[in-house]
Amino acid sequence: MKEMESLFAVQEEDVVLRQLQHRKENLHEAGVVANTESRLAELSKSKDLLSAEHLETIQRQKRFEQEVEAVESRISELDGKLYGGMVTSPKEATSLETEIRHLRERQNELEEKILELMEEVEPQERGIEKVNNEIGETQKELEIAREALQVTSAELEETLKETHERREKAASETEAGLLKHYESLRGAFGSSVVVQFDGNNCKGCPSAMPAVEADRLKQIPEGSYSDCQECGRIVVR
């Protein structure tokens, strides 16, 4: 009878181990960590895009500013030539004045573009700052979530260890051949490999046991076992 109690104890610990393993594979804390890491990755991606856009705006602004400097330098050069007494031909003077006028128009266009870009820079910088703040907050959340996962995982591992130890102890108290037979049936019957005979039926059978099989089981000694001819489980009287 004690041997059968040990086998039932093995089965009970196997049930607990399956439950613990399922919990380990589906920890809420692990989900929180995964979701937080995903949000952090999305924020980092958004920051990269905003930073690239901001950099492009700054670079365009610098190119226009450099072009304005070049235009101003050319205008200064032409002004010096026009009003410095170097031009004697009216035709040449008219040509210089036309070029200067076109250069000033180009300068105005460039300066307008620079102002437009400057107006874009400020909201871009605010956007980057906002994302940086969100990244900072999410990193804190991730740190807390990882700590919670670490604590829960450690507690679960300790429970698994204790359950394994209880299972091993119960298994050591079970006859080797019976334990091997039990192990061979676990894949088919899971948590109900070993069941009780209630006097008329095997508790593992889905329907009423035939009278012949019930009578057979009634003949075996109390506390002993036999394979159920209907479902194949180990049935204990």
Q: In what order do the strands lie in the sheet with 225-227?
A: 194-196, 234-236, 225-227
* Residue 170 in tokens: 């119960």
Structure letter (DSSP) for residue 208: P
Enumerate the domain spans of the chain. Answer: 2-174, 175-237
pTM greater than the 0.75 cutoff: no
pLDDT in tens, the chain (237 residues): 577 899 999 999 999 999 999 999 999 999 999 999 999 999 999 999 999 999 999 999 999 999 999 999 999 999 888 888 777 788 988 998 999 999 999 999 999 999 999 999 999 999 999 999 999 999 999 999 999 999 999 999 999 999 999 999 999 999 999 999 999 999 999 889 999 998 888 888 887 888 888 888 888 888 889 998 888 999 998
* Distance in angstroms (rounded) separating the CA atoms of residues 189 and 211: 23
Q: How many CB atoms lie within 10 A of CB 186?
A: 14
H or E stretch at 12: helix 2-25
* Distance in angstroms (rounded) separating the CA atoms of residues 59 and 49: 15
For the 2-174 domain, the top CATH level (class) is: mainly alpha
End-to-end, the C-alpha distance of the chain in Å comes to: 10
Q: How many CB atoms lie within 10 A of CB 155?
A: 10
